[in-house]
Homo-oligomer: A and B are copies of this chain.
Amino acid sequence: MSQKIEYAIQDRYPEDFSWCYGCGRLNKDGHQFRTGWDGDQTATYYQPESAHTAIPGFVYGGIIASLIDCHGTGSASLALHRKNGFEPEDTELPPRFVTASLAVKYVKPTPEQKQLKAVGTIEEIHPKKFKVIVEVFAEGELCATGEVVAVVMPASFGAK
Interface residues of A, Cβ cutoff 8 Å to B: 16-17, 19-22, 24, 27, 29-30, 51-56, 58, 60-63, 65-66, 69-70, 98-106, 109, 153, 157-158
Contacts and interface: CB of A to CB of B under 8 A. Distances in A.
Given A16-B56, A60-B21, A62-B69, A98 B102 contact: no
6 contacts: A16-B56, A17-B55, A21-B62, A24-B53, A98-B109, A101-B103
A105 B19 CA distance: 22
A106 B63 CA distance: 18
A19 B57 CA distance: 11
Contacts of A157: 55, 58, 109
A58 B153 CA distance: 13
B106 A100 contact: yes
A14 B53 CA distance: 15
